[in-house]
Each structure stands twice: as structure tokens, then as C-alpha cells.
């Protein structure tokens, strides 16, 4: 090869290397963005699972409450049926009316079962009514945990949180948590 041939080859190689470097930098930036989204999604998923558990427990408590009080059962079912009929008349759609009725009943049951909730910061993150927690474990109020999770979600955008054990460990360090102190005799929490 002549000297100009080598120069041309080197020039082409430099251009190719620059192109490869630019693509690698773009891919690296995209991977970093995906990592941040994955960390944020961990917190969102944990929050969603805790909220679903709380709603299920509230609904179960509501059903138990209705089973004890027949008058409330009749009233709740009557209101639900009335809303369903009214929705059916207004929308002229039986499916919508049925969905509205079921959603209304579910919401009414959850409302009857609502209470002050606490979460145990152990490996399984148990959700329980504050007046029904057992001995042992580190219990925090629901509201304070949601605030701490929001704070952790902001941090998740900039740093890796690791697995669930690491996330729980980070939550335990939060200054936003309000801890529930249990009475030593097994009585109601303070």
C-alpha cells in the first residue's frame, strides 16, 4: 500500500471507531436509564403489593362487620342494587351497571373494614390493623411507611437499591417512619 492508501485506511478506521464509540455511549446511556426505571419499578411494585394487601384485609374486615350486623348488610346491598339500577337506566348498559354495582359494593365493604394500618418491617412485610398486631417485629404506621417509600422512590432514580432485603434495610433507616410500640403484656399498641 502506498502512503496515501495507509492514510485513507487509518482515516476510515478512525471514523468507524468514532461511530462505534458513539453507539456504545448511546447504548450505555440507555442501559443506565433502564436501570433507573427498574429500581423505581421495585418501589412502585412493593407499594402496589402492600396497598393490594391492605385493601384485601379492609374488605375482609368489612365482610366480617356486615356478617355481625344484619341491618348494615341490608342497607349496603340495597344501596348497591339502587346504584346498579340507576346506572343501568342512565347508561342503558347492563354490563356497566353490574360493574358499577360490584365496584360500589367492594368499596363499601372496604370502607367498613378501614382502620389504622401498620406494617411489620420484617422479611415478609406483613400488613395488619393496628389493634390486631402480635408480639415481636418492627411495626410502623401505614402513612409513615408510604412517605418513606416515596422518599426511597426518589432515591431509586439515582442509585441501585438491591433486593427486597436491602430495600427493607433502607426503609428501617428512614427518619420518616413512625414506629408502633407494643405493650409488654400483649395489650393494645401504644
87-114 confidence digits (pLDDT tens):
666 666 667 666 666 666 667 667 767 7
**Cβ 55 vs Cβ 110: under 8 Å:** yes
Domain ranges of the chain: 1-31, 52-114, 115-190
The pLDDT tens digits for 128-147 are 898 888 777 889 999 999 99
Which long-range CB contacts under 8 A does 47-50 form with residues at least 24 apart? 47/146, 47/149, 47/153, 50/119, 50/125, 50/127, 50/145
Task: Name the more confident of 158 and 151.
Answer: 151
Structure confidence by residue, pLDDT tens digits, 8-52: 888 899 999 989 999 998 988 888 888 888 888 889 999 999 999
The phi and psi torsions of 127 (rounded to 5 degrees) equal -105, 135
Amino acid at each position: 500500500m502506498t502512503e496515501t492508501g495507509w492514510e485513507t485506511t487509518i482515516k476510515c478506521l478512525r471514523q468507524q471507531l468514532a461511530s462505534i464509540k458513539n453507539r456504545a455511549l448511546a447504548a450505555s446511556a440507555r442501559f443506565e436509564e433502564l436501570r433507573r426505571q427498574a429500581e423505581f419499578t421495585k418501589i412502585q411494585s412493593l407499594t402496589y403489593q402492600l396497598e393490594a394487601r391492605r385493601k384485601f384485609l379492609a374488605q375482609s374486615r368489612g365482610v366480617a362487620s356486615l356478617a355481625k350486623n344484619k341491618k348494615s348488610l341490608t342497607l349496603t346491598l340495597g344501596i348497591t342494587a339502587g346504584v346498579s339500577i340507576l346506572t343501568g337506566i342512565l347508561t342503558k348498559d347492563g354490563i356497566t351497571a353490574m360493574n358499577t354495582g360490584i365496584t360500589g359494593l367492594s368499596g363499601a365493604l372496604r370502607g367498613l373494614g378501614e382502620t389504622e394500618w401498620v406494617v411489620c418491617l420484617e422479611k415478609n412485610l406483613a400488613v395488619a390493623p393496628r389493634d390486631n398486631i402480635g408480639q415481636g417485629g418492627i411495626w410502623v404506621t401505614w402513612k409513615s411507611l408510604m412517605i418513606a417509600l416515596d422518599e426511597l422512590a426518589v432515591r431509586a432514580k439515582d442509585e441501585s437499591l438491591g433486593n427486597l432485603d436491602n430495600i427493607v434495610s433502607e426503609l428501617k433507616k428512614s427518619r420518616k417512619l413512625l414506629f408502633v410500640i407494643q405493650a409488654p403484656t400483649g395489650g393494645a399498641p401504644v
